[in-house]
């Protein structure tokens, strides 16, 4: 009394079911691996500090004592005046 052969599944039917099950689990494992890799990737949009502006560099030079205050003010006013143009 075996119910094994009552469904009239031929050898090709068993092969198709086995191949289908293997493909199903391969798909599940592939999705899991891709999801794991996607979640563990480093973020590409990391915050990088912006380059210091000319005013920041000038301010740092004054703070370090590389330039005097009158030279700082002269250079700062030159920065705010804009680029020099030749006639």
62 falls within a domain: yes
CA–CA dist 79, 71 (Å, integer): 12
Total number of domains in the chain: 1
This prediction's pTM: 0.41
The enclosing H or E element of 48 equals none
68 falls within a domain: yes
- Per the structure block, which two tokens stand in for 17? 């079911």
67 falls within a domain: yes
Confidence of residue 79 (pLDDT cuts 50, 70, 90): confident
Q: Which is nearest to 56 in space by CA: 76, 38, 36? A: 76
Range of the domain at 61: 54-82
75 falls within a domain: yes
60 falls within a domain: yes
64 falls within a domain: yes
Q: What is the pLDDT of residues 8-64, one digit of tens each?
A: 667 788 888 899 999 999 999 999 999 999 888 877 666 667 888 889 999 999 999
């Amino acid at each position: 009394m075996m119910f094994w052969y009552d469904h009239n599944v031929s050898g090709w039917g068993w092969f198709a079911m086995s191949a289908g099950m293997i493909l199903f689990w391969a798909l599940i494992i592939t999705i899991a691996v891709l999801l794991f890799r996607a979640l563990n990737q480093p973020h590409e949009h990391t915050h990088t500090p912006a380059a210091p502006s000319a005013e920041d560099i000038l301010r740092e030079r004054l703070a370090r004592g590389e330039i005097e205050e009158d030279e700082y003010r002269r250079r700062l006013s030159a920065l705010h005046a804009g680029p020099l143009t030749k006639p």
